[in-house]
A and B are shown apart, each in its own frame.
Chain A
């Protein structure tokens, strides 16, 4: 039974027509309210994940729960469908269990606050925000055990609960929750921040209703959704073919030695409707890399990619959802069954963006970007310092941005919106660390007319013994290149002892003990290249050699011979001619690098790590 919405005033909203000026004004006001939510959150949150890196997302929805402004699309519909209770004035709901909202949030670390906004007894809107908590208990520090085999190992699981009921704060439930985390201070501050953000936006919505009238506000949100529907309908009709196109890509491994996992998506248009079918995606993992993908969230990703690729001026909201149909097979990596572990879903999330890009761009290669939205690398480091004080760090890293129609992919930048690094001086001041190196890796970006951005090497020197964990991907398969561009380099992690001994360590591992003086070289992937590398201006290679972004050896991938830092024009022309002949004309849109079997055969030699074993379907969840 779905949620029961209790309104003391059930007068329906009058249908009013809204003039374009008022509509524009309300849309702007809503956008400002959203910016205000971000500002409030960042200022008052405490965990570095939110305050320094911006891992939190706001939303304002209309009275039916459809997102008007926000990033990831509305989860309110699935929440209302699954919530057995009432939604009343004075309520504020909190939750973290992905299974309770059809995957609308995707792991327990994301705490979500939802505030129904009432005016004069009528529900007029919802405001909501979720943010990543740096620790919610569970079997490992940071609460994202890559080797978990069920959600019960991943920390406190919060079904939808009312943290305010009739305006009264439910202190007991908060105490219960905070008792589960290693970092109650961070979590308390972050939760306060989420609440304050939702309240700010709710205040703005009520002010808008007062200023324009409730009916006008309701009509405005209806029209904003309808306007988006019309724009997207036009875009779909003109840019999506009725012919089926498919694209597939892989997650490298699951941290338990199995992989790669295939994600496959097939797209076609039936009349006005786009169908996205994930048939052919591998079965779920027994580990935590599963991604319980909410259909609406996927629609949002799809819409954003359409808009960004074809017409970045359109503002997006939930209005076009009816134009997209999503099919995800039960028991697959993208629809795992309860109680599968979910905490390591970030890799599949990143990969989905690559797949969206590949799927949408393959019929219009001039709009196509290379791959590089490959992961969101995590490092965890925790222990007790010399004074016996507990420390724990959770840090998100970045790789190379793919080569784009617009130009080169930036080196070592974030693909997730609004994220920044934690300043190294901050890390060194508040954690027992020295960051010895923080730069990009020459030649790691895939060669191309527009090259991929280089990955980052960040070298951590640990000053206290402790435990680390690493989550990263794209160490086994490569970020692909397009239109003649080459794949980017793969990720790699190396632990160096004080005596200089180096060991390659896994890209998904938990509970690795480190000693004082150890160094970890945390190397991320480079973006794929875009377009023919042999067409890149040789002078650019000369400049980038000087900048340390490519090496003389790496320049040869572009057919450019650099001697003493200068282009050897004749040798370059000869080499380019030779390479052009050997290669032949560029016919393939995508360059994925070697096939999976070749990758397996060469894994140990090339990556320093054994190849993952082919995934097996977990027996107890077999459909």
Chain B
């Protein structure tokens, strides 16, 4: 046994969390990110945190990493120059993009259409056609394919993708193009749509394949560079990256399939919440990850986070499994303003970002932000812990006063209004993933993390009725904690598109077993022992004719025991829960997926010494903050001095290196065995 190191690279800070998997002891560290070459910041952090723990990088067995490198490549349009080979008649598939224009009626007037990820001038057609039943309608022609590939070569593409009509049913034509591409464009990576995503819907399959190819070179360079630097620093263990679906994959696999990394960043917070939940005995959790410009929310039911089949990044919706994380443009840096025409108070989505940042940070920001409102109200004390950094409360007051004046209300009412509105935006996002999915938020705890999550978690829990509101241990580096504590995962999917009466158990099981074998093989190739691998199946079912499938997870034993009838029944129950009705229509089996999971890590959390319930030893000073329409006395505590069982009466503020927890009036915060603060109404 040894050490696991989780590393999460954000826009401003790189967070590290070193975990001793024998004792559960951990060390955390924050160091400035180095956007030009992230590995510099990472290495700084590795050196620092190893020193803190008194070990050397050679003692670290696993390096686990959540990264936004793929996400940023897409958002900033810095992907590779991708060449695309399509079926005759389909050259403009990415240009037409399903004809979708966002926005309401007349939204087209103001919509800037994004350029396709594979440019039209880098897209060429070939002859040959498969039918919708996987049979060859017209043959391909090698000379014709060669000619198309030569054109790509002449255009200097850095990656080749092949996406042919109905290839999800028969990839023979794509395979041949792949062979010829290897010959004509040696050294250029080739992605075939039926391998990247063997699923129906030509646009989504093409887009996903192109997106994968587009970020491959950047991710590859990033991963190889990081690996070399770490090796140079003495690290000898394995390097894995966090997938969008919350599992880990080896850095080598991630080079091939970077499209699985697009939500790697936010996934870390959710897996961190899972670990905290498992240690605190909280199994149903809504997560609230509040950053500077946005807030990510997700739902965990019975310690299993909800997943979706589509990853949305910027304007792209890519078909790759992802944790169901919803993002709203509401964070600490969100700017409050009052539009001239409507005189409404609005908050965000414009953000002051890291630069110039909130007024209170004194880095040149002049517009009032959510952070400034928190400072004005006393929720963020002027001097943070260990603080060389002092917040400019007078500046924040001046900025918020401009809002108060425009609305004709007083300063504190305006500041509280800004907080209420931003909380409401978070509430809206949480409803989308809970109530709208048929979940009752009162059955869930709300966990707030990220720099500002613990400031808002109490108020949002009140709106949701989700108790307790949880401020987890080290909320500022929970993503890195999530990176460090999750397990390996891989999956494969296939379109099936058959009614239940057109198939039978034997056929379905044969396909699933083959897929299970393939995914287990992949994990074994990563050095995981077969007996440590768990297989799971997912079957997407719908009433024939619906557009929306309900994914049902099922383990192989249950499927063998209950058969397809069991699946049908579960679908009907789930449909009723979601939409309040069932139908007489036939059931259709849409997609099959097999998931293979690495061993569950038994990683205990370190326990705090038991206290006597009285937190006064951790008290720093008395304080005053705005609550329920007036200034009220409150107390500020030092989180590192709290003991298990301490009960903090609100209103109170608990501060630590990188985060601040607000406990509202009429609420109490209980410090649990492992240091989480569980806030409940008194």
Residues of A within 8 A of B (CB): 19-21, 23-25, 27-29, 32, 35-36, 39-40, 42-47, 51-52, 71-72, 185-186, 188-189, 192, 196, 199, 227-228, 230-231, 234-235, 301, 304-305, 308-309, 311-315, 353, 369, 398, 401, 404, 406-408, 410-421, 423-426, 428-429, 434-440, 456, 459, 543, 546-549
Say whether A45 contacts B547, CB under 8 Å.
yes
Nearest neighbor of B90 in chain A, beta-carbon distance: A438
Give bound CA distance, A42 to B548, whole Å: 8
Q: Which residues of A contact B97 (CB under 8 A)?
A: 413
Task: Contacts A24-B346, A437-B89 known; list 18 others, CB within 8 Å.
Answer: A25-B420, A29-B424, A46-B546, A192-B581, A228-B342, A304-B106, A309-B109, A411-B92, A412-B96, A413-B96, A418-B100, A428-B165, A428-B166, A439-B92, A456-B96, A459-B89, A547-B119, A548-B91
Query: A189: which of B436, B580, B585 is its contact (CB, 8 Å)?
Result: B585
Residues of B within 8 A of A (CB): 89-93, 95-101, 103-113, 119-121, 129, 131-132, 137, 165-166, 168, 200-204, 339, 341-346, 407, 409, 413, 416-417, 420-421, 424-425, 428, 431-432, 436, 497, 543, 545-548, 578-581, 583, 585
Known: A24-B346, A417-B105, A548-B91. A439 touches B96 (CB 8 A): yes
Give bound CA distance, A547 to B104, whole Å: 30
Q: Which residues of B contact A24 (CB under 8 A)?
A: 344-346, 421, 424
Nearest neighbor of A428 in chain B, beta-carbon distance: B132
Known: A196-B579, A196-B580, A417-B104. A227 touches B342 (CB 8 A): yes
Give bound CA distance, A186 to B583, whole Å: 11
Say whether A440 contacts B96, CB under 8 Å.
yes
Q: Which residues of B contact A456 (CB under 8 A)?
A: 96, 99
Query: B109: which of A20, A71, A234, A406 is its contact (CB, 8 Å)?
Result: A406
Give bound CA distance, A434 to B91, whole Å: 16
Q: Which residues of B contact A438 (CB under 8 A)?
A: 89-90, 92-93, 96
Say whether B120 contacts A420, CB under 8 Å.
no
Say whether A44 contacts B548, CB under 8 Å.
yes
Say whether A424 contacts B165, CB under 8 Å.
yes
Q: Can you report 27 residue pairs joining A to B where beta carbons are below 8 Å apart? A: A19-B417, A23-B344, A29-B428, A45-B546, A46-B546, A72-B105, A227-B342, A230-B342, A308-B107, A308-B109, A309-B106, A311-B341, A398-B99, A410-B101, A410-B111, A412-B96, A412-B99, A420-B98, A420-B99, A423-B202, A425-B168, A428-B166, A435-B89, A438-B92, A440-B95, A459-B89, A547-B121
Nearest neighbor of A412 in chain B, beta-carbon distance: B96
Nearest neighbor of A431 in chain B, beta-carbon distance: B132
Say whether B132 contacts A419, CB under 8 Å.
no
Say whether A21 contacts B420, CB under 8 Å.
yes
Nearest neighbor of A401 in chain B, beta-carbon distance: B108
Give bound CA distance, A134 to B417, whole Å: 47
Q: Which residues of A contact B203 (CB under 8 A)?
A: 423
Say whether A314 contacts B341, CB under 8 Å.
yes
Query: B409: which of A19, A308, A398, A543 is its contact (CB, 8 Å)?
Result: A19
From B339, B345, B545, residue with most partner A Cβ within 10 Å: B545
Question: Which 7 residue pairs across A and B have the least CB separation, nearest first?
Answer: A43-B548, A428-B132, A51-B547, A437-B89, A21-B417, A46-B545, A308-B106
A-B CB pair tally, cutoff 8 Å: 218
Give bound CA distance, A402 to B57, whole Å: 60
Q: Which residues of B contact A52 (CB under 8 A)?
A: 547
Say whether A28 contacts B424, CB under 8 Å.
yes
Say whether B104 contacts A304, CB under 8 Å.
yes
CB distance from A618 to the nearest CB of B (A): 32
Give bound CA distance, A43 to B421, whole Å: 30
Give bound CA distance, A44 to B580, whole Å: 11
CB distance from B550 to the nearest CB of A (A): 9
Give bound CA distance, A353 to B105, whole Å: 10
Say whether B421 contacts A21, CB under 8 Å.
yes
Known: A234-B341, A413-B100. A426 touches B89 (CB 8 A): no
Q: Which residues of B contact A311 (CB under 8 A)?
A: 341
From B101, B416, B420, B583, residue with most partner A Cβ within 10 Å: B101
Give bound CA distance, A526 to B510, whole Å: 50
Q: Which residues of A contact B425 (CB under 8 A)?
A: 28
Say whether A412 contacts B95, CB under 8 Å.
yes
Q: Which residues of A contact B545 (CB under 8 A)?
A: 46-47, 51, 185-186, 189
CB distance from B493 to the nearest CB of A (A): 15
Q: Which residues of B contact A398 (CB under 8 A)?
A: 99
CB distance from B551 to the nearest CB of A (A): 13
Q: Which residues of B contact A185 (CB under 8 A)?
A: 545, 585
Q: Which residues of A contact B341 (CB under 8 A)?
A: 230-231, 234-235, 311, 313-314
Give bound CA distance, A43 to B548, whole Å: 5
Say whether B543 contacts A189, CB under 8 Å.
yes
Say whether A411 contacts B344, CB under 8 Å.
no
CB distance from B168 to the nearest CB of A (A): 7
Q: Which residues of B contact A45 (CB under 8 A)?
A: 546-547
Give bound CA distance, A315 to B346, whole Å: 13
CB distance from A413 to the nearest CB of B (A): 5
Give bound CA distance, A32 to B546, whole Å: 24
